[in-house]
Chains A and B, each alone.
Chain A
Amino acid sequence: MSKIESESITFECETGNYHTFCPISCVAWLYQKIEDSFFLVIGTKTCGYFLQNALGVMIFAEPRYAMAELEEADISAQLNDYKELKRLCLQIKQDRNPSVIIWIGTCTTEIIKMDLEGMAPRLESEIDIPIVVARANGLDYAFTQGEDTVLAALVHRCPEIKQKIEEDSTASLSGDKRKNSILSVFTPRSQVSPNLQKKLTSKETTHSDHPPLVLFGSLPSTVTTQLTMELQKQGVTVSGWLPSQRYADLPVLNEEVYVCGVNPFLSRTATTLMRRRKCKLIGTPFPIGPDGTRAWIEKICSVFNIIPSGLEERETKIWESLQDYLELVKGKSVFFMGDNLLEVSLARFLMRCGMIVYEIGIPYMDKRFQAAELSFLEKTCLDVNCPMPRIIEKPDNYNQIQRIRELQPDLAITGMAHANPLEARGVSTKWSVEFTFAQIHGFTNARDILELVTRPLRRNQSLESLEWTKLVKSS
């Protein structure tokens, strides 16, 4: 490993025998994000068992998702898929009355070639609820890519033109309604302070002088507000988010619209936006870490010919506030086993924090969609004078464990299947899934990333005086 010190990043591909979550797990955060949706996962007991165990307590909170569990008669086509799905969807309509039902196709529907895309439009007109089909299966995708398939499917449901908004606001009632619907694009009303509400609405009504900008990627509403406000400070107005808080509020998409991603795993969505809606994609590093956030804003501004102001100071200030954490991570080494596609952005940020990155494992690497992030990573390496890490696509966990044994990194960012065994062998770990559920975007949340990264290091400090670090009998 130490011998590799090439001038540019090296890419490798291993066997693909690695541990990650099934992409259907995206329903966990998407059903919470899209408030009026219902997710129906069409699969087997295995899918159900995964969801039930991976999502733990959420199951008990009457979630807006369920399994359409395929039985032997479904597999052998003794039952009519269409009739069966209709029966279940009618039941869902009756019990929950959602604004949209999202069918999640799984490995099984893929193998038995169930024509979900064919059935959905028919059923949609019959039961009068939009049905969106996303194939988030483990045959093709890993973990967070599930969200990518859902968002790509939602692109087709976004309106092409804005419903005409009457400029005269004489009818106060309808005017209020309109304002609310615009607002809800950003965030639920309850979470926005009245002050901010005014700001956002006034910004929206005074026409911005740049083409519309739509951001894509599902983030908690507080984070969308934060990012929206960061851009607002530079005079950039966000016209909408994909996904929106409510299905009815999906953003307008057409050839005038500029789109920009907030997460590195959204390459299908980006492609769909460009090819099907002729949107213009702004390729940037992702707003993870203060360095990433600044680069993200700068790139968006440059597209709109806006000269950003005060960004450098803002970034410096954030770095200053992180000082206590930076001291902890400085010079420490980190190894990403790879399972959620956030790895490149996180590695880039951690390098900037002074860490040494040994390896970036990643399930899938879209060099085009991540181009800006990759060159930013390269630039960061040069800036901090760090050897270029290697990026291992489709890693092999067994080989990685051997490399971890050899390298003894200070921190391994890994899935839960390996965390405890590595800890027992004296290697500190951080569960990678936490990065997908924690708030890590924008300036405000940089601290949260380091909070996660340093947790095992701080734990080590507090247990330092005790000698038991290796807790397995051999090896």
Chain B
Amino acid sequence: MKLAYWMYAGPAHIGTLRVASSFKNVHAIMHAPLGDDYFNVMRSMLERERDFTPVTASIVDRHVLARGSQEKVVENITRKDKQEKPDLIILTPTCTSSILQEDLQNFVNRAASESKSDVILADVNHYRVNELQAADRTLEQIIRFYLKKAQKQETLDCTKTKTPSANILGIFTLGFHNQHDCRELKRLLNDLGIEVNQVIPEGGSILNLHNLVKAWFNLVPYREIGLITANYLKKEFNMPYVSITPMGVVDTAECIREIAVILKDNQYTSDVNFEQYIDQQTRFVSQAAWFSRSIDCQNLTGKKAVVFGDATHAASMTKILAREMGIRVSCAGTYCKHDADWFREQVQGFCDQVLITDDHTQVGDMIAQIEPSAIFGTQMERHIGKRLDIPCGVISAPVHIQNFPLGYRPFLGYEGTNQIADLVYNSFTLGMEDHLLEIFGGHDTKQVITKSLSTDSDLNWAPDGLNELNKIPGFVRGKIKRNTEKFARTKNITEITVEVMYAAKEAVET
């Protein structure tokens, strides 16, 4: 048992449902107790979906406990088959139902023979994989199912398209800025003269999956979902894939170069050179390269930042901050524990230390200890930042509704670099303002609040100490206060006076 208040990645069935409901005309039926269909609320609220989420529950209640699901699951599947006429129904176990150890595969087989739609059982272990791993697996399961089917029916046509083409794998519902990223990737491929064969799973149709193999290669923008599928396609159909996330100026160029290599290897084409395109985009379309040269960014040099998020975004962000903006990343971390090795390798040389954990208190402690000028993390880190009075840019799921903006906000590609530059710049206290505040001692007249959320009731601020604290500009006040208290605690001082404050300052500086 684990005492937990918050988790970064959801339970496995959420991943399965995200993949299923991203496809067109696919219906998921959860084998779950009442109330477990919270996924529908999230999709409807966060994504502001106009359509009913194609997920229903076959309710597990007392009667089911007593007698087994018996006909209920089969009945629910065949009923949904008639009502909605989906192409595919995915039966999704939940952590509750998986303990029941009913032979769901048997139900699926029976239902499949009675319904027009295909029926499969999502094959994920609820106690071993999380949301992201489950999504990755389910996507592969579906693709494999349909390619195998086409092979059996001998309708699989592996002829490549005439002109270069690619599949984009891993864009799906409730993904962090996925819709915008998808648009940006399509634009990027279009610029390179590459057709988009299919985008999977978002908006993809089951009926077209057999055409996946016609593409020249696969593009897997995110580390978390799509890789298993890409590997499968490579192994079975010899399709190459590119898995460099085109996030940031350097990595976008890397991604494009990798695509060029694949196209060159391909017998159908001879002459590809994207270097001129990369140069043009880097210097003039994206503003990020110029931004890192500009005076503004100079002021960010050496400022401390902490990065935390899923493996893709945290790794890319760390590299962007360190390599493209000269910011010092004191700690980079991810909650994707299953991908820790890859993450370490990615951020090696770009940060002081690496943190692999899915315990948010550990992340909070780390941030409090480092006291960075800005945090780049998930919604959780945003709240940690609020408590510590440190600004935070949200770069990764889990997210709230404000991270599903209506406006165009990709994180990938060249437009993505602009968005990221804005995010970074706005997160740090603005350069000149920063200086002026330091020189003139701030312009806020707010009273000092010495009560913080952490339990520090053992310390007392003397009036003169408080008065002195008042003079310190607001944006560094929290930091100075914490440093002083830290110092006081180590010296066993309970009353903080002006003297203690200066002693603390000297102690820090020496």
* Interfacial residues, chain A to chain B (CB-CB below 8 A): 16-17, 19-24, 42, 44-46, 48-50, 52-54, 56, 59-60, 62-63, 66-72, 74-75, 79, 84-85, 87-88, 91-92, 107-108, 110-112, 137-143, 397-398, 401, 415-421, 424, 471-472
Contacts and interface: CB of A to CB of B under 8 A. Distances in A.
Contact of B53 (A92, A417, A424): A417
A293 B50 CA distance: 39
Contact of B41 (A52, A75, A79, A417): A417
Contact of B61 (A16, A67, A68): A16
A46 B96 contact: yes
A417 B40 contact: yes
A364 B149 CA distance: 45
A50 B44 contact: no
B59 A44 contact: no
Interface centre among B4, B34, B45, B52 (most CB of A within 10 A): B34
B175 interface: no
Interface string B33-46: 11111101110110
Contact of B400 (A56, A63, A68): A56
A108 B98 CA distance: 10
B49 interface: yes
A286 B99 CA distance: 40
B13 interface: yes
Contacts of A472: 50-51
A110 B64 CA distance: 13
Given A111-B65, A418-B52, A23 B35 contact: yes
A60 B32 CA distance: 28
A138 B35 contact: yes
A471 B60 CA distance: 35
B1 A22 contact: no
B441 interface: no
A111 B1 contact: no
A60 B379 CA distance: 10
Interface string B489-504: 0000000000000000
Contacts of A424: 50-51
A46 B60 contact: no
A49 B4 contact: no
Contacts of B386: 60
A113 to B, nearest CB: 10
10 contacts: A17-B58, A42-B1, A44-B11, A49-B14, A52-B5, A68-B3, A72-B128, A84-B1, A420-B48, A472-B51
A38 to B, nearest CB: 11
Interface string B1-30: 111111100110110000000000000000
A285 B42 CA distance: 35
B83 interface: yes
Contacts of B50: 420-421, 424, 471-472
A59 B45 CA distance: 18
B312 to A, nearest CB: 21
A417 B10 CA distance: 18
B2 A22 contact: no
Contacts of B48: 420
A94 B36 CA distance: 32
A79 B1 CA distance: 8
Contact of B100 (A21, A62, A111): A111
A109 to B, nearest CB: 10
Nearest to A415: B41
Given A22-B38, A63-B5, A138 B33 contact: yes
Interface centre among A63, A138, A142 (most CB of B within 10 A): A138
B453 interface: yes
Given A24-B35, A85-B1, 14 more contacts: A19-B37, A21-B38, A45-B126, A49-B38, A53-B38, A68-B3, A69-B1, A111-B99, A138-B34, A139-B33, A139-B61, A139-B62, A140-B62, A401-B52
Contact of A71 (B2, B96, B99): B2
Contact of B59 (A17, A24, A418, A421): A17
A53 B1 contact: no
A441 to B, nearest CB: 25
A287 B58 CA distance: 36
Contacts of A63: 5
A45 B41 contact: no
Contacts of A72: 127-128
A421 B51 CA distance: 5
Contacts of A42: 1
B94 interface: yes
Contacts of B59: 16-17
A107 B10 contact: no
Nearest to B76: A17
Contacts of A24: 35
Nearest to B51: A421
Nearest to B47: A420
B7 A45 contact: yes
B95 interface: yes
B56 interface: yes
B383 interface: yes
A23 B33 CA distance: 11
A111 B386 CA distance: 40
Contacts of B3: 66-69, 88, 91-92
A45 B13 CA distance: 10
A52 B40 contact: no
A77 B11 CA distance: 21
B44 A66 contact: no
Given A46-B36, A46-B95, A417-B53, A52 B6 contact: yes
A42 B3 CA distance: 9
A44 B380 CA distance: 20
Contact of A50 (B35, B52, B127): B35
B65 A139 contact: yes
A420 B96 contact: no
Contacts of B83: 398
Contacts of A53: 38, 41-42
Nearest to A142: B34
Contacts of B453: 62
Contacts of A111: 65, 96, 99-100
Given A46-B11, A111-B65, A143 B35 contact: yes
A112 B99 contact: yes
